[in-house]
């Protein structure tokens, strides 16, 4: 079931901008804002992407020292 959102204290300039954009698109303000909100909700946040990466790839532990770093990279590359 669809839900209703209410946004308080919207500055006049922001309201005016969205109202003009909605009119230019031939849409109601509500429909226009919904069309803008849907892609925002579908995009993952930086935190969600980080969690997704951590769940699929264990952290890389590289021993200290230039020679061992190169060896670790080569070992990972050739694996």
pLDDT tens string for the chain (79 positions)?
989 999 999 999 999 999 999 999 999 999 999 999 999 999 999 999 989 988 887 777 766 766 777 888 888 899 8
If you count them, how many residues does the chain have?
79
Domain locations in the chain?
Answer: 12-78
Q: Let me know: does 21 contact 32? Beta carbons within 8 Å.
A: yes
- Please tell me what DSSP assigns to residue 10: -
Buried b (16+ CB within 10 A) or exposed e, 26-40: eeeeeebbeeeeeee
Q: What is the pTM of this model?
A: 0.61
């Amino acid at each position: 079931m669809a839900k209703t959102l209410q946004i308080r204290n919207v500055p006049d300039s922001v309201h005016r901008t969205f109202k003009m954009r909605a009119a230019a698109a031939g849409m109601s303000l509500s429909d226009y804002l919904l069309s803008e909100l849907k892609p925002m909700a579908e995009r993952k946040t930086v935190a969600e992407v980080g969690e997704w990466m951590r769940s699929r790839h264990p952290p890389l532990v590289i021993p200290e020292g230039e020679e061992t770093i190169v060896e670790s990279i080569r070992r990972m590359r050739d694996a």
